[in-house]
Amino acid sequence: MRLVLVGPPGAGKGTQAQFLAAHYSIPHISTGDIFRANLKAGTPLGLQAKGFMDNGELVPDSVTNEMVKDRLTHDDVANGFLLDGFPRNVAQAEVLRAILAEKKTPLHAVLEFSLANEEIVARLSSRRTCKDCFQPSVGVEKCPSCGGDVYQREDDKEEVIAKRLSVYQEQTAPIVHFYRTEGLLVTIAADGEVSEITDRAITALSRVHG
Ligand code: AMP
């Protein structure tokens, strides 16, 4: 299964990505997590990305596209992959299409998470993130997945959330239309219990990919 998740920040892509990646036995590739890991390790890539991330802006395409291109050469994508947080604009979507066309491995589906704006803001402001594995959580002091310490992402602070939502509307939302035109778009409601949303996603995807 070669799958892209798309939806506003806070729609639950990262949470669902863990379950969907396990279900389909494919790697979860989160560009946000790759940037955060680089930032933590103090690499040049991390330093390049930091200012954009802290302000809720997109890291330039030249940097992001190269990073994804490289990640898609790893052996673990042989059976597919789940991309979370990429593409985030139409230019990135076109680059991804070209990379996959060259490998003759086109996408099977693009799963869109649909959620009301008020719910997004509420979720983002209460979200905490693991310092070690970056798993999101709410209302806990230690990561439920690995036991690491949790923190509030700089870009989950109220003043940056509004910026990220406007970046989503202006730059990322147009890829929904792009993928609808390509016949790849599958949309699900992203409200309710985590396990309900996972079931909804798997049912919707089974209609396009057995
Ligand atoms: P996320 O964890 O997906 O919310 O990403 C956190 C931040 O990383 C974003 O606000 C951007 O600054 C940066 N980022 C992640 N993915 C991309 C992308 N595809 N293009 C540009 N910037 C990205």
What's the Rg (C-alpha) of the chain?
16
Spatial contact of 40 and 34, defined as CB atoms under 8 Å apart: no
Say whether 153 is catalytic.
Answer: yes
So what's the pLDDT on residue 159?
A: 86
Nearest CA to ligand 1 atom 1: 32
The strand ranges marked E within 1-156 are 2-6, 28-30, 81-84, 109-114, 127-130, 136-138, 150-151
Ligand 1 centroid from CA 66, angstroms: 14
Per-residue pLDDT of the chain (210 residues; tens, 9 = 90+): 999 999 999 899 999 999 999 999 999 999 999 999 999 999 999 999 999 999 999 999 999 999 999 999 999 999 999 999 999 999 999 999 999 999 999 999 999 999 998 899 888 989 999 999 999 999 999 999 999 999 999 989 988 999 999 999 999 999 999 999 999 999 999 999 999 999 999 999 998 876
Q: Does 157 participate in catalysis according to the annotation?
A: no
Which strands, in side-by-side order, build the sheet including 185-189?
28-30, 81-84, 2-6, 109-114, 185-189
Decide if 13 is catalytic: yes
Q: Hey, which of 58, 61, 130 would you mutate to test ligand 1's pocket, going by the most ligand atoms within 8 Å of its Cβ? A: 58
The one catalytic residue in 88, 97, 157, 163 is 88
Q: Show the ligand 1 pocket: residues with CB < 6 angstroms.
A: 9, 31-32, 35, 52-53, 56-59, 64, 85-88, 92, 155, 164
Residues 6+ apart with CB under 8 A from 102: none
E strand or H helix at 187, and its extent? strand 185-189
Backbone angles phi, psi at 58, to 5 degrees: -80, 140
Taking the centre of ligand 1 as the mean of its atom positions, its distance from the CA of residue 34, in whole angstroms, is 9
Q: Please give the pLDDT value at position 210.
A: 64
